[in-house]
């Protein structure tokens, strides 16, 4: 009996958590979450970056396979000649569309009808140009699948965004100087960039005399990075890339699939070297910390630091300038 009484007394002495004890437990959980969350976010970003790298490797393999078939890289984008300022001399399909068969998208390639304008609002074409292909989109890029900005006043539909542009080269291109040999508005230079891609280009691997492992041919681009706007203050999304061809932009010179590493501002007065993750919409960049990934001519993918000297970036962009780099 005495044992039963003792048991009952001991049961009565037990009590619930006090408020202080509960707060301590909550605080410990919060600290653990705070410690674990950055690690989880880093792991997710590492996975996205790895996926982005694989995209570039796939694009590199497709470009090499295209070269095997045609003995040349695809044109940066297609246009009729001669080029004039006042008219769009399409059809505008870019290298991304050209390599669709090498990306196991032959049916889409056949349906696009390359003789038609890439800016066409024909529903039979739009159903493909608005299709987001994962190989052209880095998982780290935020936003929706469609670039809603329009290139032509007659166009009413956007196209699917892309995260990668071909390298035009390191040409010094001015905007408003009609006497400049590389005036981007006149377009004399757009047809003859010193990189891997330009309008109607047909660069062969043997033309890359600096070496395929020393030349970047495709790089990441990011929109809305560091509050970037172009020289006239236009929202960066207006310059957004699309995989199909030319960007949906008021200036025909800003092609979706080709990007330069050097240029002038819109007044033509200041030369600019576009550093990685810089504040110009014409710079290569990414939503990865510290730099961006680039496809080299030999198919390797390199992560280049945003602190890399701009002159080194320009040397890597030119395919035959004689400046062969060692380690970088």
Strand pairing partners for 91? 79
CA distances 147 to 171, 236, 259, Å, are 27, 11, 17
Cα distance between residue 89 and residue 198, in whole Å: 15
Q: What are the tokens at 172?
A: 């010094």
Going by C-alpha positions, the residue among 328, 64, 321, 109 that lies closest to residue 218 is 64
Please, are residues 74 and 99 in contact by the beta-carbon 8 Å criterion?
yes
Cα distance between residue 225 and residue 252, in whole Å: 23
CA distances 305 to 245, 285, 288, 294, 302, Å, are 28, 10, 10, 11, 10
Half-sphere exposure of 182 (CA within 13 A, CB side): 17
Half-sphere exposure of 36 (CA within 13 A, CB side): 6
Cα distance between residue 92 and residue 297, in whole Å: 24
Residue 314 φ/ψ, nearest 5 degrees: -65, -40
pLDDT of residue 85: 47
Cα distance between residue 225 and residue 285, in whole Å: 8
Cα distance between residue 122 and residue 100, in whole Å: 20
Cα distance between residue 170 and residue 318, in whole Å: 6
Going by C-alpha positions, the residue among 156, 194, 150, 143 that lies closest to residue 172 is 194
Cα distance between residue 32 and residue 25, in whole Å: 11
Q: Is the pTM of this model over 0.95?
A: no
Cα distance between residue 71 and residue 205, in whole Å: 8
Q: What are the tokens at 163?
A: 């995260």
Longest distance between any two alpha carbons in the chain, whole Å: 112
Strand pairing partners for 167? 259
DSSP letter (8 states) at residue 234: -
Element holding 30 (H helix, E strand):
helix 19-70
CA distances 275 to 49, 117, 282, Å, are 20, 33, 9
pLDDT tens-digit profile, the chain (328 residues) = 555 555 455 555 556 668 787 888 888 888 888 888 777 777 788 889 999 999 999 999 999 999 999 999 998 888 765 555 444 556 778 899 999 999 999 999 999 888 777 777 788 888 898 899 999 999 988 877 877 655 554 556 778 888 898 888 776 554 444 444 444 444 444 445 788 888 788 899 999 999 999 999 999 987 654 444 333 334 444 445 778 886 544 333 344 456 665 543 444 445 566 778 776 666 788 889 899 999 999 999 999 998 888 788 888 888 888 877 777 6
pLDDT of residue 309: 84
Cα distance between residue 252 and residue 241, in whole Å: 13
Please tell me the chain's helix, strand, coil percentages from 3-state DSSP, rounded to the nearest 5.
35, 15, 50
Half-sphere exposure of 165 (CA within 13 A, CB side): 30
Cα distance between residue 271 and residue 171, in whole Å: 11
């Amino acid at each position: 009996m005495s044992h039963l009484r003792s048991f009952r007394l001991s049961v009565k002495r037990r009590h619930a958590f006090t408020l202080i004890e509960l707060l301590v437990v909550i605080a410990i959980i919060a600290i653990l979450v705070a410690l674990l969350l950055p690690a989880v976010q880093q792991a997710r970003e590492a996975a996205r970056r790895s996926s982005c790298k694989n995209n570039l490797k796939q694009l590199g393999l497709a470009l090499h396979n295209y070269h095997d078939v045609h003995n040349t890289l695809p044109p940066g984008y297609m246009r009729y000649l001669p080029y004039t300022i006042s008219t769009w001399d399409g059809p505008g399909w870019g290298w991304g569309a050209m390599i669709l068969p090498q990306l196991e998208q032959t049916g889409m390639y056949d349906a696009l009808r390359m003789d038609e304008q890439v800016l066409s609002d024909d529903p039979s074409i739009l159903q493909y140009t608005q299709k987001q292909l994962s190989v052209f989109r880095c998982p780290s890029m935020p936003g929706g699948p469609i670039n809603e900005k329009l290139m032509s006043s007659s166009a009413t539909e956007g196209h699917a965004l892309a995260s990668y542009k071909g390298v035009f080269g390191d040409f010094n291109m001015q905007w408003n100087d009609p006497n400049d040999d590389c005036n981007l508005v006149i377009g004399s230079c757009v047809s003859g960039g010193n990189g891997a891609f330009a309008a109607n280009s047909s660069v062969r691997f043997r033309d890359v005399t600096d070496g395929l492992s020393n030349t970047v041919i495709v790089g990441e681009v990011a929109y809305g990075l560091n509050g970037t706007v172009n020289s006239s203050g236009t929202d960066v999304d207006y310059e957004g890339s699309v995989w199909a061809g030319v960007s949906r932009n008021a200036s025909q010179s800003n092609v979706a699939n080709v990007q330069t590493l050097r240029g002038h501002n819109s007044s033509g007065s200041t030369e600019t070297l576009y550093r990685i993750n810089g504040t110009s919409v014409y710079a290569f960049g990414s939503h990865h910390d510290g730099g961006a990934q680039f496809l080299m001519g030999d198919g390797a993918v390199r992560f280049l630091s945003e602190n890399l000297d701009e002159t080194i970036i320009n040397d890597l962009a030119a395919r035959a300038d004689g400046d062969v780099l060692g380690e970088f």
